[in-house]
Amino acid sequence: MGSVAGLKGNFVRTAMDAPFLTREEEHELAVRWRDLKCEKALHRLAAAHMRLVISVAARFRHYGLPMADLIQEGHVGLLEAGARFDPDREVRFSTYATWWIRASIQDYILRNWSIVRGGTSSAQKALFFNLRRLRARMAHEAAASEAHFDVHQKIADAVGVSRADVATMEVRLAANDMSLNAPLTEADGNDSVERMDFLVDNAPLPDEAVSDMIDSERRVHWLRSAMNVLSERELRILRERRLSEEAATLEALGDRLGISKERVRQIETRALEKLRAALMQRAPQSAFA
């Protein structure tokens, strides 16, 4: 840790000790890079502005990410600015590079601050990086004027997002990510209770669900094939007695067929025996036995 801190300190001191460039020197280096692709010119231009990278990175240190990583990402943005800079425009390189440095650092924060991706639009990105500042300002204004207003709505109007987006972002910024494997309580021995232990899904596993579906389709195929051994009357009685949502009574079915209810029961019993025998012949290992 000491060596890492020492390297970081040396880097910062080196960046701070780098000489400033005059407008003419800056223009000459940018022209040499643009026209001749002189890497030494680009390196000198970037080295002279590393203090700018450190300054911008320091504004984002409260997001909980290593300062060294923020500086590194800012350096990437600085090099991108150097590669794109047009020396013929009447603007200083530091002014142009600041946007690229800030954008690179902000993108890094959005990618690493949480495993849940946020700030996918420009408005959401602005909300993420300005919510705390805007909320503090709104609270100060409300206290100063002794007025009561919806802070979330005021922030939403200022940034250009919905009130629900503001409330959601505030909740996200209020707490860090939590691992489902993080221990909640220490149990006896070396075991511990994790958050995952309380997320029980009683649904079957995907392979079990697929297996059940295949078995069900196979049984339906066997049943339809076996029903070919039944006569038309036997088939009608089984359908109305066993395969209908509202099973017909023996008496009602007997009246429709012009036979007694006892005869209906006998035909049903015989049809079931024929059907069971046909199923056993086609699939003796099945669960129809």
> Is residue 262 predicted with pLDDT exceeding 80?
yes
The backbone torsions φ and ψ at residue 185, rounded to the nearest 5 degrees and listed phi first, read -140, 150
Burial (CB < 10 A; 0-12, 13-18, 19+), residue 67, is middle
Per-residue pLDDT averaged across 267-283, rounded? Answer: 84
The pTM of this model reads: 0.53
Question: Rounded to an integer, what distance in angstroms lies between the CA atom of residue 188 and that of residue 195?
Answer: 17
Query: Strand, coil or helix: what is 18?
Result: coil
- Report yes or no: 53 and 71 within 8 Å, Cβ to Cβ: yes
Tell me which of 225 and 185 has the higher pLDDT. Answer: 225
Q: What is the mean pLDDT of the chain?
A: 81
Tell me which of 139 and 31 has the higher pLDDT. Answer: 31
